[in-house]
Structure 1
Amino acid sequence: MRRIGKVVMAAGAALGLAIGIAVVVTYWPAPSPPRQQVEPAAPLRIDNVTVVDVDTGALSSDRSILIVDGKIAQITGADEISELSSLRRIDAAGQYVVPGYNNMHSHILTAAHPNAGLALMLSEGVTGFRQMNGSDRLLKLRREGRLPLNENTPRLLATPGDLVMPFNVASVADAETLVTSQKRQGADFIKVGATTPPLLYAILSAARKEAIPVVGHLPEGIDPVRASQSGFHSIEHLGPGDTMWIGCSAKKATLMKEAELNPSFAAPPFEIPTFAQKLLAPFVSRVMARRLLNPAAFEKEEGVRRLQAAFDSYEPQQCRALAQELARNGTWMVPTLVRLRTQYLQDSPEYRTDPSIPYLEPSAYSAWIKVADVFAALPESSRATFREGYDRSLALTAVLADEAVPMMTGTDGSHQAPGLSMKQEFQELARAGLSPLKILQMTTRDPARFPGRTATMGSVAVGKDADLVLLSENPTSDVANLGRIAGVVRSGHYHSRDDLELMRQRVARAHGRLE
């Protein structure tokens, strides 16, 4: 029984860290947006606004935007705009309009209280999101239009089915069955995590046959170049772990073999029957919930040593060559720097006073603090490696941007821990050296390019969905201005600054943080 318990823990760890991958854009199926319960909006007119071209950063001042049936109908001078009955007019003098923000790495729909998190996402300008963990049930709810999505929440852009992990995929045959089944249920992509190299490549092969993307973590022992060439299209969290660093190391072959033979999360040594998987899944999920809050807090010393060895043998030109290969193959990156920061710097005092704390569920924040205490008790040598890891993560993000690797903005947050807001992610991307315009593109234009939805989103243009953010300052001149939100339009519904603040206050009151 003790042996089985260890197997369950290992499988649970794989579940906890499974974070998806994606196949080359050509494998992405024709977009078919999920059903969402959005009430029709009355015609809306936004006057005297400056339109930001997210491709070039050019500004067009004194524009009027007419929105009808949730779409942008006209963009012109104020005296040329069509007059319609029941027209609501917003004077946006001095404001700038950009496409709605997209959080391309979120787990909000599987949070304990998704409604609160969805409201907070909209209040920070997010009008679209990619859900990064799913299930048969989530896909069924989406098919039936029963997800909690409406004009007061962001739009769901894509979601997977069950996570791919050793716990539920033990053979090549299983890989093919899982991919086929998830596509049939309506999954937009396959999400792969802490699995073995042979099973990863089996999933990629099956996904190519089924023309469905694969996205997420690079499992330990995987060569990033080979994964990219095989169709691994969207790498989350810069790897995570040591995979990308081993790819940049002069000791690449040695460290890669070591990582494959000694993974942080081992696969079960035998196949677990389907009925047992279903019985054990809730238990595994509960057992691993604590570890999920910060895998670094529970990293074995051997894993930390390997990460440090990769840092110590870092070859700048080899890393640039790796980035160039990713760009050549169209492999995307979603850095989620705020997630890496809370992992590697979890003992930072700022997380005890973070401004987002009033909006966090008290029980979730309490659990996070307990794990922070575990992290703080790690050997100083381990925490020193992790501190170096975050600085290197910023530098790697800059290399990826310099070499034109396509990137998108995401936080990995469901408002269950401090420091995971879009505004903070913008600031960390700027610390990595990215320009305000580049960050704006990663948040608006590029999430439209990723799934091939540029016809409906990603720019402020006639015919596009009316998902917009109004800003009080020029977003191309200072990254801080991306967070100075004056209003949000979601599918033609206008939410003023006061409306958004009221949303935040309601969440805080629901959590007992405000009287």
Structure 2
Amino acid sequence: MPENNDGPDTEQGERGSSRRTFLKRAGLGTALVGLGVAADEAIGSATAPAVPPRTTVTAADGVRIDDVTVIDPADGSRRARHTIFVRDGRIADVMATASAPVESSLRVIDGAGRFAVPGYNDMHTHVLQSPDTELGFALMLAQGITGIRQMEGSEELLIRRAENRLGLNETAPRLLHLPGALLLPFNANTADDARTEIARQWDQGADFIKMVLTDQDVFFAAIEAAHEKGLRIAGHLPPPVHIDAAAEKGFDSIEHLGTGSSVFLTLSTRADELWAQTPSTLPFPTWAARIPFAGWAFDKFLKKNFLGPATSTTDAAQLALLKQAFATYSEDRAAQLAGSFIEKRTWNIPTMANIRSKYVLDDAEFRDDPWLQRLPAKDQEEHLATVASFRSIPPADLDIFHEYYERTLQTVGIWAREGAPIMTGTDGNGRGVGNSFAIEFRELGRAGLTPLQVLRATTSQPASYLGRTDRMGRIAAGMDADLLLLDADPLASIENLSSISLVMRNGHDYTSADLAARVERLMTAQD
């Protein structure tokens, strides 16, 4: 059964490091041929790590939380002076404290002056790719994250989940959704390849399909194949795919606004003209996908070129297109697109903090964030070198990158105002420089979301997306006992969403001091 229980330096003069130019100049096929020579010997050790032990969520003692204000994200209501009864990892009852029966067998938590909300859900994380998942889980729980949607999987991870070998005990968030391998040209080079791969992942027990990069025809075939298997499909929009077309065809969840320039080309009053200037093919020849070990080499050596700051994935031609798109940006088109999302029930996980780290990397926060000092010296050095490289690009290019992020804020704000479904996600593995759940909340607030909208995006909206409204997203009888106590009213300000006093995971409760101490122990053990 699934375990549901529980950038390299960039030089301005070397625009060849952009995604398309990098692959054309280096030649992905040539690079992979060279890498393939060494891959045969290395791949065995890379794919056969030590098998981790089985873990389970231990039973929690019953507890009652007295005199707390219960917040319902569904309607924004506050119920003051209520008691929450928790037994066997579930919420047994919620009632006015004045009428709550006295039960000597239950431990009492004094909730006076505090606010109870459902546990938060990070709906776009890569924590299972972290070299230290235990630390990642601890960092997430300390931020109130009691549920996660893992956005990159594999056959190995699916097997380990089935065997309860992912370390998902009561000190880790609940794993809500896990895909199989990413859809890329290496396993989905044709429509038939995609259908075969999706059938294989369905058989392996994947919860959904993660799209990254395919031809347009393969992209649409993958949507159909996933839905035929009863699976959702989520992820990136390949360069040739228009965001409105993706919604129309039933793509379930768009991450990072689709990635790249796609959304802003579509939101231009000159959309057809700008799209006509955009290549309609993949950024490398399809034959390269057939080279032995191509997918492994991409993952181990070339992925970083796709995941770094905007300077590593945007060339001069793309910058020129973006500049035109921003000059002709249409709020009306953004509102119309939101209407399509509502009609087709297309979800968006903007990952604001992550986008900000790609387009506003020169902001002081990326040098001053205290988390930077907690990283190993090598990681600090690499991060600061990337920041310095970003800051050194010509001011005109910086202006375009900065406007990219401002337009991202504007667009997400319009979608939220129109009522398009939005969820929170960090695209991280627990904590990063300039990337945390508090920062994600802050940036959603900058986009124009109200505190209640942000609360919904991380509680009741994920429950709706996952079809789990009977188990999560509210504090009510029958729900999983994954909840938070906050020291300040979360509906009064977005900052208050991070005023965490206590985290309850499957009935086990931890104070913020408990969780901070656990993180510190794990960090010290790494040193």
What is the TM-score of this pair, normalised by structure 2? 0.87
Tell me which residue corresponds to 2:285. Answer: 268
The alignment covers a number of residue pairs equal to 484
Distance verdict in 2 for CA 1:64–1:287, change over 3 Å: same
Q: Does 1:294 align with 2:294?
A: no
1:84 Cα deviation from its structure 2 partner: 5.1
Q: Does 1:324 align with 2:339?
A: yes
Distance verdict in 2 for CA 1:260–1:416, change over 3 Å: farther
1:325 Cα deviation from its structure 2 partner: 1.2
Distance verdict in 2 for CA 1:36–1:105, change over 3 Å: farther
Tell me which residue corresponds to 1:454. Answer: 469
1:80 Cα deviation from its structure 2 partner: 4.2
Distance verdict in 2 for CA 1:252–1:392, change over 3 Å: same
* 2:475 match: secondary structure: coil
Deviations 1:286-336 (A, max 9, x none): 323542552412122122222222112212222221221111111111111
Tell me which residue corresponds to 1:482. Answer: 497
Distance verdict in 2 for CA 1:365–1:475, change over 3 Å: same
Tell me which residue corresponds to 1:235. Answer: 254
Rounded to whole Å, the distance in 1 between the matches of 2:435 and 2:359 is 14
* 1:178 match: secondary structure: helix
Contact 1:42 1:86 in 2 (8 A): no
Rounded to whole Å, the distance in 2 between the matches of 1:362 and 1:115 is 21
Contact 1:95 1:471 in 2 (8 A): yes
Rounded to whole Å, the distance in 2 between the matches of 1:284 and 1:76 is 55
More displaced 10-residue stretch of structure 1: 475-484 or 163-172? 163-172
What does 1:85-104 align with in structure 2 at a 5 Å threshold? Answer: 86-104=105-123
More displaced 10-residue stretch of structure 1: 164-173 or 122-131? 164-173
Q: Does 1:333 align with 2:348?
A: yes
Contact 2:121 2:424 in 1 (8 A): yes
Match of 1:131 among 140, 150, 166: 150
Contact 2:187 2:194 in 1 (8 A): no
1:100 Cα deviation from its structure 2 partner: 0.1
Structure 2 stretches lacking a partner, 5+ long: 1-22, 34-53
Rounded to whole Å, the distance in 2 between the matches of 1:387 and 1:443 is 27
Rounded to whole Å, the distance in 2 between the matches of 1:192 and 1:280 is 18
* 2:277 match: secondary structure: helix
Rounded to whole Å, the distance in 2 between the matches of 1:238 and 1:421 is 19
1:359 Cα deviation from its structure 2 partner: 4.5
Rounded to whole Å, the distance in 2 between the matches of 1:152 and 1:199 is 40
1:255 Cα deviation from its structure 2 partner: 2.2
What does 1:115-194 align with in structure 2 at a 5 Å threshold? Answer: 115-194=134-213
| Letter of the 2:111 counterpart | A
What does 1:29-428 align with in structure 2 at a 5 Å threshold? Answer: 37-78=56-97, 80-82=99-101, 86-261=105-280, 266-270=283-287, 272-273=289-290, 276-277=291-292, 279-298=293-312, 299-415=314-430, 417-428=432-443
| Letter of the 2:241 counterpart | I
Structure 1 stretches lacking a partner, 5+ long: 13-34
| Letter of the 1:267 counterpart | F
Distance verdict in 2 for CA 1:88–1:484, change over 3 Å: same
* 1:138 match: secondary structure: helix
* 2:370 match: secondary structure: coil
Contact 1:11 1:166 in 2 (8 A): no
Tell me which residue corresponds to 1:24. Answer: none
| Letter of the 1:156 counterpart | L
Rounded to whole Å, the distance in 2 between the matches of 1:41 and 1:362 is 40
Over the aligned positions, Cα root-mean-square deviation in angstroms equals 2.2
| Letter of the 1:215 counterpart | A
1:379 Cα deviation from its structure 2 partner: 2.8
1:393 Cα deviation from its structure 2 partner: 0.7
| Letter of the 1:169 counterpart | A
Contact 2:126 2:428 in 1 (8 A): yes
* 1:500 match: secondary structure: helix
Rounded to whole Å, the distance in 2 between the matches of 1:446 and 1:74 is 23
Contact 2:190 2:218 in 1 (8 A): yes
1:402 Cα deviation from its structure 2 partner: 1.4
Rounded to whole Å, the distance in 2 between the matches of 1:170 and 1:250 is 33
* 1:254 match: secondary structure: helix
Distance verdict in 2 for CA 1:418–1:3, change over 3 Å: closer
Distance verdict in 2 for CA 1:392–1:4, change over 3 Å: closer
1:9 Cα deviation from its structure 2 partner: 8.3
Question: How many percent of aligned residue pairs carry the same amino acid?
Answer: 37
Q: Does 1:6 align with 2:24?
A: no
More displaced 10-residue stretch of structure 1: 357-366 or 86-95? 357-366
1:4 Cα deviation from its structure 2 partner: 11
Rounded to whole Å, the distance in 1 between the matches of 2:123 and 2:30 is 29
* 1:46 match: secondary structure: strand
1:81 Cα deviation from its structure 2 partner: 3.7
What is the TM-score of this pair, normalised by structure 1? 0.89
Tell me which residue corresponds to 2:46. Answer: none
Rounded to whole Å, the distance in 2 between the matches of 1:320 and 1:397 is 10
Deviations 1:212-254 (A, max 9, x none): 1110111112122221111111111112211111111122123
More displaced 10-residue stretch of structure 1: 410-419 or 92-101? 410-419
Match of 2:510 among 483, 495, 500: 495
Tell me which residue corresponds to 2:20. Answer: none
Rounded to whole Å, the distance in 2 between the matches of 1:326 and 1:501 is 39
| Letter of the 2:300 counterpart | R
Contact 2:189 2:215 in 1 (8 A): no
Deviations 1:47-78 (A, max 9, x none): 11110111222111111111000000111233
Distance verdict in 2 for CA 1:77–1:394, change over 3 Å: same
Distance verdict in 2 for CA 1:408–1:383, change over 3 Å: same
* 2:66 match: secondary structure: strand
1:132 Cα deviation from its structure 2 partner: 0.5
1:363 Cα deviation from its structure 2 partner: 4.0
| Letter of the 2:366 counterpart | Y
